[in-house]
């Protein structure tokens, strides 16, 4: 009986972890950034923070990338669908201007696609 209970707890814990990382409440809603804030994206530890940005379509916007990762992997940020690439200075704010564009999903990443994010224009 005790063994079954321990297994059950293990399984529930795994489900909880999976739920948290893949389906959790953090995805989307809480990472959304409003157009009023300074749109700063921290580049650190293999992730863009936030990695999910919603902005109004049809309006140019400036994103501020703050790169804190010295590895060359994080040096460039690419928005392939918008034909934007920018070299990010280490420990400094790098402005990246997003032109007015159609509504849609615009993924962005480093050159090797280790860092990934998505820009939603709506």
**Contacting positions for Cu ion (CB under 5 A):** 73, 110, 112, 114
Cβ nearer to Cu ion, comparing 55 with 69: 69
Alpha-carbon distance of 108 to 101, in angstroms, equals 15
- Spatial contact of 119 and 50, defined as CB atoms under 8 Å apart: no
CB of 113 to Cu ion, least distance (A): 7
Strand order in the sheet with 84-87: 52-55, 116-121, 104-109, 76-79, 84-87
Q: How far is the CB of 11 from Cu ion (least distance, A)?
A: 35
Given the complex with Cu ion, which of 74 and 101 has the nearer CB atom? Answer: 74
CB of 30 to Cu ion, least distance (A): 25
Nearest approach in angstroms of CB 77 to Cu ion is 10
Q: Whole-angstrom Cα distance, residue 45 to residue 121?
A: 26
54 or 118: CB nearest Cu ion: 118
Residue at token pair 């990246």: 96
Question: Based on CB atoms, which residue is closest to Cu ion, 73 or 82?
Answer: 73
């Amino acid at each position: 009986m005790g063994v079954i209970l321990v297994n059950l707890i293990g399984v529930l814990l795994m489900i909880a972890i999976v739920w948290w990382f893949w389906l959790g409440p953090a995805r989307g809603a809480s990472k959304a950034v409003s157009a009023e804030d300074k749109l700063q994206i921290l580049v650190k530890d293999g992730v863009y923070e936030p990695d999910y940005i919603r902005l109004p379509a049809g309006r140019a916007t400036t994103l501020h990338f703050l790169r804190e990762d010295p590895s060359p992997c994080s040096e460039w940020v690419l928005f392939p669908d918008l034909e934007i690439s920018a070299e990010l200075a280490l420990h400094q704010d790098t402005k990246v201007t997003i032109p007015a564009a159609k509504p849609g999903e615009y993924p962005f990443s480093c050159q090797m696609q280790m860092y990934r994010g998505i820009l939603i224009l709506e």
